[in-house]
Amino acid sequence: MDVYISGVGMTKFGRSKDSLEKMMAEAASAALKQAQLERVDAIYMGVMNVEEFVGDSNFATLLADTLGLTGVPSTRVETASSTGAGAFEAAFYAVASGHMKHVLALAGEKMTHLPTAKTTRILSEVIDRSERRYGATMPALAAMIAQKYAREFNLSSLKLEDILAQVAIKNHSNGSFNPYAQFRKIITREDYLKSQMVSFPLRLYDCAPITDGAAAIILTSEPTPIKASGIGHATDTAAVRHRASFTSFNSTKEAAQKAYAMAQLNPCDVQFAEVHDAFTLFEIIGTEDLGFFSPGEGWKALEEGITHLRGRLPINPSGGLKARGHPVGASGLAQLVEIVYQLREEAGKERQLERTEIGLAQSIGGLGNNNLVTILERSDRKRIVKQGWSPDYHPEIKVLKKTDHPSPPEGTGILETFTTLYATPEGFLSPLTIGFVKTDTGEMVMACNPDYRSPKELKMGKKVYLRTREGLYVFEKFTLWDRLKHRLKKQPKNN
Amino acid sequence: MDVYISGVGMTKFGRSKDSLEKMMAEAASAALKQAQLERVDAIYMGVMNVEEFVGDSNFATLLADTLGLTGVPSTRVETASSTGAGAFEAAFYAVASGHMKHVLALAGEKMTHLPTAKTTRILSEVIDRSERRYGATMPALAAMIAQKYAREFNLSSLKLEDILAQVAIKNHSNGSFNPYAQFRKIITREDYLKSQMVSFPLRLYDCAPITDGAAAIILTSEPTPIKASGIGHATDTAAVRHRASFTSFNSTKEAAQKAYAMAQLNPCDVQFAEVHDAFTLFEIIGTEDLGFFSPGEGWKALEEGITHLRGRLPINPSGGLKARGHPVGASGLAQLVEIVYQLREEAGKERQLERTEIGLAQSIGGLGNNNLVTILERSDRKRIVKQGWSPDYHPEIKVLKKTDHPSPPEGTGILETFTTLYATPEGFLSPLTIGFVKTDTGEMVMACNPDYRSPKELKMGKKVYLRTREGLYVFEKFTLWDRLKHRLKKQPKNN
Task: Give A451 or B127, the one with higher predicted confidence.
Answer: B127
| Of residues A366, A110, A189, the one with CA closest to residue B57 | A366
Q: What is the pLDDT of residue A426?
A: 81
Query: Is the distance from CB of A16 to CB of A23 less than 8 angstroms?
Result: yes
Quick one: how far is CA A485 from the chain centroid? 42
By Cβ distance, the residue of A69, A72, A75 closest to B79 is A75
Count of other CB atoms within 10 angstroms of residue B441? 12
Structure letter (DSSP) for residue B426: T
A73 and chain B in contact, CB less than 8 A: yes
Q: Which residues in chain A (340-369) have CB-CB distances under 8 A to chain B?
A: 365-366, 369
Stretch B29-53: mean pLDDT: 97
User: Given the DSSP bridges, would you call strands A3-10 and A213-220 parallel, antiparallel or unpaired?
Assistant: antiparallel
| Cβ within 8 Å of residue B334, ≥6 positions away | B10, B13, B84, B107, B180, B213, B215, B318, B324
Q: pLDDT for A194-229, tens place per residue?
A: 999 999 999 999 999 999 999 999 999 999 999 999
Question: B193 exposed, middle or buried (CB, 10 Å; 0-12, 13-18, 19+)?
Answer: exposed
- At residue A429, what is the residue type? L
Mean pLDDT in residue range A241-268: 97
Tell me whether residues B71 and A42 touch, CB distance under 8 A. no
Residues of A in contact with B236 (CB under 8 A): 61, 65, 70-71
B290 in contact with chain A, both atoms CB, cutoff 8 A:
no
Average pLDDT, chain B: 94
Chain A partners of B71 at a C-beta cutoff of 8 Å?
234-236, 250-251, 254, 397
Question: Element (H or E) spanning B66, and its range?
Answer: helix B59-66
Which of A76, A140, A162 has the alpha carbon at shortest distance from A446? A140
Residues near B289 by beta carbon (within 8 Å), at least 6 away in sequence = B248, B249, B252, B253, B256, B362, B395
pLDDT of residue A274: 98
pLDDT recorded at residue A19: 97
What's the pLDDT score for residue B495?
41
Give per-residue pLDDT as tens, A123-164. Answer: 999 999 999 999 999 999 999 999 999 999 999 999 999 999
- When the pLDDT of each residue in chain A is averaged and rounded to a whole number, the result is 94
Helix axes A157-175, A280-289, angle to 10 degrees: 90
At B280-323, the pLDDT tens digits run 999 999 999 999 999 999 999 999 999 999 999 999 999 999 99
CB contact under 8 A, A235 and B262: no
Nearest by Cα to A82 from A48, A114, A38: A48
Does residue A232 carry a pLDDT above 90?
A: yes
pLDDT in the model for residue B276: 98
Average pLDDT over residues A323-330: 98
The reply to whether omega before A391 is within 30° of 0 (cis) is no
Q: Given a cut of 80, is residue B463 above it in pLDDT?
A: yes
Q: Give residue B494's pLDDT.
A: 44
Given this model, what pLDDT does residue B483 score? 62
SS (H, E, C) chain A: CCEEEEEEEECCCECCCCCHHHHHHHHHHHHHHHCCCCCCCEEEEECCCHHHHCCCCCHHHHHHHHCCCCCCCEEEEEECECHHHHHHHHHHHHHHCCCCCEEEEEEEECCCCCCHHHHHHHHHCCCCHHHHCCCCCHHHHHHHHHHHHHHHCCCCHHHHHHHHHHHHHHHHHHHCCCCCCCCCCCCCHHHHHHCCEEECCEEHHHECCECEEEEEEEEECCCCCEEEEEEEEEECCCCHHHECCCCCCHHHHHHHHHHHHHHCCCHHHCCEEEECCCEHHHHHHHHHHCCCCCCCCHHHHHHCCCCCCCCCCCECCCCHHHHHCECCCCHHHHHHHHHHHHHCCCCCCCCCCCCCCEEEEEECCCCCCEEEEEEEEECCCCCCCCCCCCCCCCCCCCECCCCCCCCCCEEEEEEEEEEEECCCCCCCCCCEEEEEEEECCCCEEEEEECCCCCHHHCCCCCEEEEEEECCEEEEEECCHHHHHHHHHHHHHHHC
Q: What is the rounded CA–CA span in Å between residue A85 and residue A98?
A: 21
- Better-scored residue on pLDDT, B77 or A477: B77
Cβ of residue A98 closer than 8 Å to a chain B Cβ: yes
For the cut 90, the answer to whether the pLDDT of residue B383 exceeds it is no
Contact at CB, B61 and A369, closer than 8 angstroms: yes
Quick one: pLDDT at residue B482? Answer: 60
- Residue B18's pLDDT is what? 97
- N-terminal to C-terminal alpha carbon distance within chain B: 74
Query: Average pLDDT, stretch A460-488?
Result: 82
Q: What is the C-alpha separation between A358 and A375, in angstroms, rounded?
A: 7
Summarised one tens digit per residue, pLDDT across range A21-48 is: 999 999 999 999 999 999 999 999 999 9
Strand partners, A65: none
For residue A441, what pLDDT band results from cuts at 50, 70 and 90? Answer: confident
Contact A218, A202 (CB under 8 A): no
Rounded CA separation B7/B84 (Å): 16
Per the CB < 8 A criterion, the answer to whether B273 and B315 are in contact is: yes
- Count of all residues that appear for chain B in the document: 495
Alpha-carbon gap, residue B215 to B335, rounded angstroms: 9
**Mean pLDDT on B100-120:** 95
Question: Using N-to-C axis directions, what is the helix angle for B250-263 and B280-289, rounded to 10°?
Answer: 50
* Cβ A263 vs Cβ A378: under 8 Å: no
User: What phi, psi does A111 have (nearest 5°)?
Assistant: -130, -25
A399 interfacial to chain B (CB closer than 8 Å): yes
How far are the Cα atoms of A369, B64, B176, B292, B305 from residue B309, in angstroms, in the given order? 46, 38, 12, 16, 8
List pLDDT tens digits, range B263-283. Answer: 999 999 999 999 999 999 999
Residue partners of B382: CB distance under 8 A and separation at least 6: none
Chain A 99-138, residues with CB within 8 Å of chain B CB atoms: 99-100, 122, 125-129
CB contacts of A256 in chain B (<8 Å) are none
Residues from chain B that touch A1, judged by Cβ atoms under 8 A, are 97
d(CA B214, CA B16): 11
Query: By the CB < 8 Å criterion, does B55 face chain A?
Result: yes
Q: What are phi and psi of B199, to 5 degrees?
A: -150, 110
Q: Which of A62, A125, A235, A374 to mutate against chain B (most B CBs within 10 Å)?
A: A235
Distance CA A156, CA A290 (A): 25
Q: Are A67 and A74 in contact (CB under 8 A)?
A: no
Residue B59: its pLDDT value, please?
A: 97
DSSP helix/strand/coil, B486? helix
Find the helix or strand (DSSP H, E) in which B59 lies. helix B59-66
Q: How far is B368 from chain A (nearest CA, A)?
A: 10
pLDDT at B155 over 80: yes
Residues of A in contact with B77 (CB under 8 A): 75-78, 90
Q: Nearest CA of chain A to the CA of B419: how many Å? A: 23
Distances from the Cα of A83 to the Cα of A138, A281, B6, angstroms: 16, 21, 29
Global ipTM: 0.95
β pairing state of B272-275 and B202-203: unpaired
- Nearest chain A Cα distance for residue B161, angstroms: 30
Chain B residue with the nearest C-alpha to that of A3? B97
- Least reliable range by pLDDT among A384-393, B318-327, B402-411, B480-489: B480-489
